[in-house]
Structure formats: structure tokens, C-alpha cells
A and B are shown apart, each in its own frame.
Chain A
Amino acid sequence: MSAAISIENLVHRYKDAEQVAVNDISLEIKEGEIFGLLGPNGAGKTTTISILSGLLKPMQGKVTIHGFDVTLQIDESKKLIGVVPQEIALYPTLTANENLEFFGSMYGIQKAALKDKIKNYLNLFGLENTGKKRVEQFSGGMKRRLNLIASLLHDPKILILDEPTASVDVQSRNLIIEFLRDLNKKGTTILYTSHYLEEAENLCTEIAIIDEGKIVIQGSPQQIIGSQPGFDNLETIFLKLTEKKLRD
């Protein structure tokens, strides 16, 4: 399988920040994988995703998406990805339909096709009766689901999700996880971050744990568990590798 995302020696430090947020990371995410990028708070997950989506210019290193350099061939690389941001990125005073119609049009999707898609996705995520409701009246879980739909409308080859299951109930979480699994079966490569290690262990085909901007361990969940004698789940390994102190 060829590389969907390739990251080579990526370094990024925010302006005015003392520490580097991403410290020499190299990764290859193959087409068809569900890749889990795990790590404690402040590990550099969102920073890495921002660079992948062309929101941040990296200080050093090279990042390509299906061969397109994210800093040089911005538009080409952006077209291939769908990004679900960690924070809700929707217009609160617009309705669910209006939000999806707007973002869909921004992707250049034809009106009729877009309407069908919106209807299907709203049904799929249990939002079929809330299309005419303003997003500001949504619950946190509903917003998360809508936030996800807004990134799917253009059928991206790669879906990048930054904590899609944070602060949602078990039902919503299961729905999202099942959806991602299905989507992956249909051929979409998935890169996702999470703080739920059990969820990642079950879902992902490949995992990298990062801490303080560096990759601590990488492999399939089975490989990682197998490489640490005396540990039988990801969470304990995670705690051992990243230690117990609190992060910022």
C-alpha cells in the first residue's frame, strides 16, 4: 500500500513559545489504515493535524498527502482531506441544514447532490429532525456529530479527526466509531486522535503514541502490547510510557 500521509522530520514551535510543540516527528500513514495518534494533553496532536491541513506552516520537515506537499501544493493536498477540528467549527446562528449547505457549496458540490447527501448523513447520525434547528440550540453531542458531517460532504480520500468522541455520550461515541469503521471499509483512510485508549485499541490498525512532541512508540495495537511484557492493554502501556505527571 502507498503512503496516504507522509511526515518527515517535522518540527514546529509556536511563536513566543519556549518549547517545541512538535519535535522531529516522522510517520507514514498508509492508504486504507485507521491510524490513531495518541498522547496526553499538549503532546502535539492538534499541532500535527494543523500542519497536515495547511493551517500551520511547519518550521522544519516535509509533509505530503498522496504525494502533494502541504506547504507547496496547498490546494491539491487540501482537496484530498476532510478535517474534523477538535473544537466545533460551525455557525451557531445558522441551522444544521444551512451550515451543511454552506460548507458543501464551499467545496463546490452540486446543489441537488448536496441536498441528498445532507439528508442521508443527518439520518445516519440521528439528526433527521433537527435540520431546521439552529446549531446554538444543539446539545454538545449533536454539535459533534454535525461537526463531523460537515467534513464528510466532499467524500475525502483521507479523513482526519481531532478527538471526534470527546465529551459525547456512549451512544453517540459508538455511532461515530461504527461509522468510521464503515467508512474505512469503503476505502477512506482515517487519521484520528483520542484520549480513549480502549476505543483506539479496538478501532485502529496502527497507533503512534506521542509525548512532548516526540513519538514514544509506534505499531499495530497487538505489536505494541506484545512489545511490552507484563502489560495487556494500551492504557497501562500509555501510562508507563508517558508517566503519571499532569501535562499542560
Chain B
Amino acid sequence: MRFIAAIKKECLILLRDKAGLAILFIMPLFLITIMSLIQDAPFKDYKENKIPIVYVDNDKDSLGSIIEKGLVNSGIFSVITEIDGTAANDENTKQSVARGEYRLGIIIPEGATKTMNKNVENRVDKMLANFGMAEKDSTVFQSDSIQLIILFDPAAKIAFRSSVSSTLDKFITRTEMETMLLIFSQKLGEASGIKQEAAIESRPLITLKEIQANDSKVAELLTNSVQHNVPAWAIFAMFYIVIPLASSMIKEREEGSALRLLIIPGSYMTCLYGKIFIYTIVCLIQFILMMMVGIYILPLLGLPAFEIGHNFIALVLMIIACALAATGYGFMVGSIFNSHHQAMVFGSVSVVILSAIGGVLVPVYVMPGIMQNISIISPLNWSLNGLNNVFLRQTDFTALVPDMLKLLGFFVVMILLSAKFNQMKKYK
């Protein structure tokens, strides 16, 4: 069989190309190990370092303690109530935040609970009055607003300010609503107050969602250096196949063996398909090796082990789609360029750019908004996204289909483009 012969030839050439093998297998292993080690600390910071918030509770009543509990439970803030050994008060809080020692301070005014309760009670009374009586209450309802003071470090970014403000806002609205409900039901004499209070406190008052990217679970899991770097650099290595693949195609043309193939009827295309086949297999082997490093080697270096998820069929299909896309890309570069130099420079620079855009160097969710939008043009992003779907989100197969189709579509487009260029080369 001609196809078998083509594959055998490709294997032999590949196995004898020591530098090519190093690029294919050794380089990515180093990349994964080194990047996981380097990024271990920053990832931990991202996950574990909380924003210190100076908390001055002049209220010393239920609203003050509900907010404090909420802040603590949020997981975003670490609540500080002492500055340099003395209890935080209005003065020293203002000063230390202004000096930038803390980025954030919150002062709950005296009597905040009382004010809130009064407001709520007024409102409830008015509502009950509206329900129960035909004639309207003539007294105008006056509510004193609670002046909650948020202090920001002058250097804090606007985005940070607004997200903290809106989080606190939601907080207070919610507390207000809950207090209102409580008083409402107390007044109606239906349920016991104690039971209600317990119910309120057990509710989570603030969630991570308001501040972090919308996909909180993934964000949380991804804030682990290994979980990001292993698939990211495995994909990078796969696409880096552009170098050995394009180089092998150009070499074949330079050495003249391509000429001989063109003279043998039908053999040129057979060989090109053989190449695509072999390099796709190489991509798969590469990927499996990378996963093994993540699972077995990285833990030996004190890093967490790589989580591979449970859906193996989805994983295999996803990897094949990635491998085809990567091989297709290399094939296209090898078809377009005539010199090694051009292909190497274009190939490596383009893969680095596509991987930066695609979230290999830093995860997409920590990129600025514009870059997050741009990232969707990179096939490395589709690959990474699809694989993370398998590894982290544990989604079912249908969720992978869009990325898989994009990768396969990319492969087809690359092959068609290459065919065009190969045709042009043939009849120069």
C-alpha cells in the first residue's frame, strides 16, 4: 500500500531528525514544567490573597454585624478592625487609606441599625395602612438615609471602586429587604422572630460573582498554575508543530525528493496525506506526554497534580480536533513559504502571537476586556476552551461541539488553502 509506504518513510525521517524530535517532545516538557513552577506563586496570589478592608463599626448593632459577616464570608475581603494595634476608628482609617496603606475602608455610622429599622418600620406601617384602611394616612413619610462611608485609596482604579461600591450597595439593599420582611412578618404576627433571624443570617449575603469573571467555578479551578499551564502549553506545543512540519515539507522540495514524487503518478498527494497523518499522531503523542507530566511529574516538584476530568471520549475527540487544526496550520505554512527562514520566522512568531491572544501565556479571564474579545479568533483559544470544558467544567459532549467544529473547519480551510498553494508551486 502506497499510503503505508508514505507513512513509513515519514516516520523514518522523523525518527532520524534529532533536532526535530527535541522540538516536538523535549521542548514542551520543559515549557510545561518551567511555566507551571514559575506561575505557581502568582496563581496562588490571585486565588488566595484577599483585599484587606478596614472596617469601622460605629453601629455596633445588627446591621453592622451583618455587613461584617457578609464581608468575611465573601471570600474576597479580609476584614481588618485594628490599625497598628489600636481599634480602627473614623480618623485613623481615613488617614491610613489616604496614605495607601489600605486600599479600602468602610465606616458604618452610629445608629445605622436604628435608622434602618425606623425606615423600614415606617414603610411597613404605611403599607399596612394602605392595605387595611380606606382613608389615607395624612402624615408624610420621612426616611433618614443611612450614610455608609466607603473610603478608597486615591490610587485605586475606577473599576475596582465601582465594583466594590456596587457589591456593597447590593448588600445593603438586601439587608434592608430582609429586615423589612422580618418586621413585616413580625407585625403580622405570623412567625417567630428568632426563627426568621436565623434564616436570614444563614443566607450567603455576597457572592464572588459580582467581582470575578462570570464563570466562577472555572476561574477558581484555573487559578492553579498546573491546571492552566499543562493544557495551555500542550496546545502551544501542538501548534508549534508548524516548525518541524513546514521544515519537512520545504526540505522535501529543496532536496528534490518532492520533484520525484511529482513525477510518480498520484504519489505526491499520497505523501502529503501521509505527512498530515503522521504529524497528527505526533500531536496526539505529544499531548498524552504532556498530560502524563502534569499528572505524575509535576506533583513530585511540589505542584498540584493535573486534573484530567472524567469524560475520556470527549477528551480524545477534542484532542484529535486540536491535533488536526495544528497539523493543518503547519501544513499551510509549509505550503506557502519557499524558504526555511521565512517559514520558521513566520511559523514561530505567529504561533506565539496566536497563543498569547488565545490565553496560553496568561488565561483569557485575566486579560483586559478588548483582548478577551479578540481571543476568540485564535484556534489555540478554541482548543484551550474546549479542553477546559472537558477538564474543568465537566460539561457533556454537546458543549464541546462549537469549539470542535471551529477546529475542524480551520483544518479544512488550511488544507484547501495549501492545496491551492501546492498547485501553484507545481506549475510555476
The B-contacting residues of A in range 44-99, CB under 8 angstroms, are 53-57, 74-75, 78-79, 81, 83, 85, 87-94, 98
Kindly provide the distance from the CB of B277 to the nearest chain A CB, expressed in whole angstroms.
Answer: 16
Is A106's CB under 8 angstroms from B257's CB? no
Residue A14 is within 8 A (CB to CB) of chain B in the complex: yes
Known contacts A83-B260, A98-B12, A102-B5, then 16 further A-B pairs from the complex at CB < 8 Å, ordered by chain A residue: A78-B265, A87-B256, A88-B255, A88-B256, A90-B255, A90-B260, A91-B13, A91-B252, A93-B13, A94-B12, A102-B9, A105-B4, A106-B261, A106-B267, A106-B271, A107-B264
Q: Which 7 A-B pairs have the closest CB atoms?
A: A105-B5, A89-B256, A106-B267, A89-B260, A75-B265, A78-B265, A57-B427
Instruction: Name B428's contact: one of A15, A54, A87, A93 (CB within 8 Å).
Output: A15
Most buried by B among A56, A90, A101, A106: A106
Cβ contacts A to B, 25 pairs, < 8 Å = A15-B428, A53-B263, A54-B263, A55-B259, A55-B262, A56-B427, A57-B427, A74-B265, A78-B264, A78-B265, A79-B265, A81-B263, A87-B259, A89-B256, A93-B13, A94-B16, A103-B260, A105-B1, A105-B2, A106-B264, A106-B267, A107-B264, A107-B267, A134-B16, A151-B260
Residue of B nearest to A103 (CB): B260
Which B residues touch A81, using CB under 8 A? 263
Interface of A is mostly: loop
Could you tell me the distance in whole angstroms from the C-beta of A187 to the nearest C-beta in chain B?
21
When distances are taken between beta carbons in the complex, the residues of chain B under 8 Å from A150 are: 260
Interface size class on chain B is 20 to 34
Residues of A within 8 A of B17 (CB): 93
Q: Name A residues whose Cβ lies closer than 8 Å to a Cβ of B.
A: 14-15, 53-57, 74-75, 78-79, 81, 83, 85, 87-94, 98, 101-103, 105-108, 134, 150-151
A-B contact count (CB 8 A): 80
B318, chain A: closest CB distance, angstroms: 34
> Mask for B405-428, Cβ within 8 A of A = 1, else 0?
000000000000000000000111
A78 neighbours in B (Cβ, 8 Å): 263-265
Secondary structure at the B interface, as helix, strand, loop or mixed, is helix
The 8 Å CB contact of A54, one of B4, B12, B262, is B262
In the assembled complex, the CB of B250 is this many whole angstroms from the nearest CB of chain A, namely 14
Q: Once the chains bind, are A91 and B9 in contact (CB under 8 Å)?
A: yes
Q: In the assembly, what is the distance between CA of A55 and CA of B426, in Å?
A: 6
Q: Chain B contacts of A107 at CB under 8 A? A: 264, 267
Residues of B within 8 A of A85 (CB): 256, 259-260, 263
Q: Which A residues touch B16, using CB under 8 A?
A: 93-94, 134
CB distance from B422 to the nearest CB of A (A): 13
Q: Which of B1-44 contact A (CB under 8 A)?
A: 1-2, 4-6, 8-9, 12-13, 16-17
The verdict on A106 contacting B255 (CB below 8 Å), with A57-B427, A78-B264 known, is no
Complex Cα gap A79–B257 (Å): 18
> Judging by beta carbons under 8 Å apart, are B259 and A89 in contact?
yes
Least CB separation from B255: chain A residue: A92
